Chain A
């Protein structure tokens, strides 16, 4: 029961999540995204066993971003009319403007909850395998992406090596965070040059082992679609449709 979201076919999950996100963009009332956000939370509580500490850590920057949306939409919002609720520093805030601002910031939260539903329950390698097997992504691209992904820890080590080499030679004195951001330039060129060489080497290795990049019919690790994948996808769509109706009713 609590494995359902983890075992769901990644392509189906990906398509469902994307459709619902695009669908949410049509709603400008505050209730739809808010209700949707809480429904997704409940869905995750019931059907997944994710680490909620990590969830909150990922969510935090987006809560901050949502707050930014809230106040800019109030201050820089298009003229909507409606009754003035309060005035602050010469700005008249109307009830419609507030509703619109709340809707945009709740939308950020709804998007993030849906994204985290995907991110925290999907195995990255299985996702690419599924893209190749179900959505017919070219094996050349799919395995290319996987090679890049496998190099991630190597690139991380390389990053620290380059940084330490710079420090050892006294090349970089970085006191402030913005100096570190600008200093990215010094690190990125050697990293990319290393990446070019690694790409060449691994491409030769793949070709030497007979990788042609042609479409296959059989796979070593097949990713299948089962009835419960459609059921879960339908459940998410039902949540979206019912919250959009309920939200439209509540805001009138």
Chain B
């Protein structure tokens, strides 16, 4: 009796459809993103809230937080990253299988935030390539979900024929800084370049206090 049952496209249509391979592959990828949670600070609390039932990240295909980088698709760096943790973050990124994406969640991960100090990485994009930056301190769960949906939009535009150029990785670059020295200086300026620093903490009067160009108008 199931023989005469009409297909999804109506009676008389064949039980298959043709489409682009890119579309199918991207559809599968973007709807089954497994996040690798790299939560180091308060942003991780919001990330947990995003995965909990009120916001329910699983609605968008992030069904399972993958605590092994080898079964993860998208790295969510939630929180501040000190220099001591930088090689760990880089190693986890290197352990993730292609294709992989990275989300920098919150002000600290994206730019160092208020921690413009000696111990803090001024933006994880100097360590790993970042696809989506989520602003906020911390971002609300809606913000994280929106960022993940932006990753989905990015996947939608990808193509298997351009896979090599989009996702090429140099094996020699593993464990090395993502950005070269000039790029690191550009990314961290005007914050965090200690060679341009004119403010010395302590009771020694250096004659130069404050940096007017850093203040908001």
Is B truly associated with A?
Answer: no
Residues of B near any A CB (own CB < 8 A): none
A-to-B contact residues, CB < 8 Å = none
